[in-house]
Structure 1
Amino acid sequence: MKFLIIIPAHNEEAHLSFTLESLQQQSFRDFTTVIVNDGSTDSTPEVIRRFTEADSRFQTINLQKSAHQPGSKVVAAFKNGLNTQKPEEFEVICKFDADIILPENYLQTINEAFQNNPKYGLVGGLLYVEKNGEWVYEGNSNKGHVRGPMKAYRKECFDAMGGIRETLGWDNIDAILLENLGWKEVVLPELQVKLLKVKGSDYTIKPADYYGRYFYFLGLNRFLAYIASSKEAMKIKSLSFFLQIIKAYESCRSQQLELKISKDEQKAINEQRWNALKKKWLKI
């Protein structure tokens, strides 16, 4: 299978070379990588140039600087990179971050998983972060979810779900939509991916505002949004945090901000969330 890898990169001079070197060292060789220089003001373009000049599998596109918003900015950059290629020439579409280190067998293992399992639509490994000199599981999501920094989609599945959405929550929306279409999201725990930078460290949005906006753009109805908000607030035992999340969610509702999902997709997302809630808490 032939892989198309898109890597959005904004001011990643400290990390990008590690990501691209780990791609060069892959045992699987049939891939094209597009690094999207998303308005970088550091030496990221020079890092990219070193690889594009030395290896024909690496290409680049330069974008103008835009405001950093969680979710939408990175997907917009991804789509710009995708538009430079002919996606129909590839069997696998990858969205990788510019601050990860892949094990040498990452692409080969993904390739074999797709070839051996026709219903696999989204495959990835697990993220590990460095703590006290050791690489440990990040633990920021359940082990059955492929995180945003290392997504690999079967092209057929990617097309069926309409690609990834330019919105906060895109990396959960994709998993719900593909499952609703009969595809499977699969994590291969033996693929340990090193994450070099803590996610969200460069966001300007406050945590409560983030969650409120996230639950809105995920398409959750008011009941499920309130349940999700209470779960986040219980983690830090803060009623005020719950109220702040709700305020942000209700603000989005009152403004009727545009969702990047259809009514049918919104219904599918709410049904999936409700079923998960019943299974976990109501034992139904």
Structure 2
Amino acid sequence: IHLPGSKVIQAFNKGLETVDDNYDFIVKADADLIFPSNYFETIINHFQSDSSIGMVGGFAYIEKNGEWILENLTDKDHIRGAFKSYRKACFEQIGGLKPAMGWDTVDELLCKFYNWEVVTDKSLQVKHLKPTGANYNQAARFKQGEAFYSLGYGFWITAIASLKLALLKKKPFLFFDYLQGFWKAKSAKKPLLVTSEQAKFIRKYRWEKMKGKIF
């Protein structure tokens, strides 16, 4: 079944088992990407420029009417899950990548929890050949709400994040699928991807970010 989250990270972790410990940076990339020729050189330059940088990435572009346009589903300071680059020390401190929906948000939130910098470079335009979620079914849409729960967002942050994502996707009724997924996970008392201390930090960070945009 084509579902977001766990499968891609299970594949990544299987590959990780074959890698020795002698590396400085590690990259997770999807198969449906075309990188600019200077992508990895630029990523390395960022890491080498500042030892506090834990993650670096470019931006995803999709083809529409013969033109490549920004796949505008997230904030400009978020690195898309399709292409993630990590400093080794940061990767190890956040506990690697978690095989669950929400892995590509919790990694950045834990980076911030441990005081690592996350850098996005708008000059790095990555062509994404298949738009995110193009073939996802309703079960996958419930998974998004479950992911918000697993990040420790709580109801109100989940509601705001769900509405924003549904509107960005131009499918307002997704809002109800996301909320239903949240309540199903909450009712089942599913384990979070973060500790209670990390969840508290995440909620505070999210509220401050939202207030910053409003005011």
Q: TM-score, normalised by structure 1?
A: 0.69
State how far apart, in whole Å, the 1-side matches of 2:78 and 2:132 are.
16
The equivalences for 1:18-33 within 5 A come to none
Residue 277 of structure 1 aligns to a residue in which SS?
A: helix
1:72 aligns with 2:6: yes
CA contact (8 A) 1:173 1:269 kept: no
In 2, Cα distance between equivalents of 1:163 and 1:80: 13
Identify which of 85, 91, 96 aligns with 1:152: 85
Using the alignment, how far apart are the partners of 1:101 and 1:241 within structure 2? 29
Rounded Cα–Cα distance in structure 2 between residues aligned with 1:244 and 1:78 = 28
Higher relative contact order (CA 8 A, sep 6+): 2
Q: Give the CA deviation at 1:96.
A: 0.4
* Aligned equivalent of 1:142, options 51, 70, 75: 75
Q: Which residue of 1 aligns with 2:54?
A: 121
Work out the percentage of aligned pairs sharing the same amino acid.
Answer: 39
Residue ranges of structure 2 left out of the alignment (5+ in a row)? none
Shift of 1:226: 2.8
- 1:269 is matched by which residue type in structure 2? I
Tell me if structure 1 keeps the 8 A contact 2:54–2:90: yes
* Residue of 195, 200, 204 corresponding to 1:262: 195
Kindly provide the amino acid, as one letter, of the partner of residue 76 in structure 2: K
Structure number with bigger Rg: 1
Contact 2:138 2:177 in 1 (8 A): no
Q: Give the AA of the match of 2:210.
A: L
CA drift at 1:248: 2.3
Per the TM alignment, residue 162 of structure 1 is displaced from its structure 2 partner at its CA by: 1.0
Q: CA deviation at 1:202?
A: 2.9
The match for 1:189 is 122
Residue by residue over 1:105-164, the C-alpha shift from the partner in whole angstroms, topping out at 9 and shown as x without a partner, is: 111111111111111110011111112222222222222211111111011111111111
Q: Work out the CA distance in 2 between the residues paired with 1:233 and 1:124.
A: 24
Q: Which residue of 2 aligns with 1:279?
A: 212
Alignment partners' CA distance in 2, 1:94 and 1:116: 18
Deviations along 1:54-93, one digit per CA (max 9) or x if unpaired, are: xxxxxxxxxxxxx43311111111111101111x200001
Cα root mean square deviation, aligned = 2.1
Local SS of the residue matching 1:145: coil
Q: How far off its partner does 1:233 sit?
A: 5.7
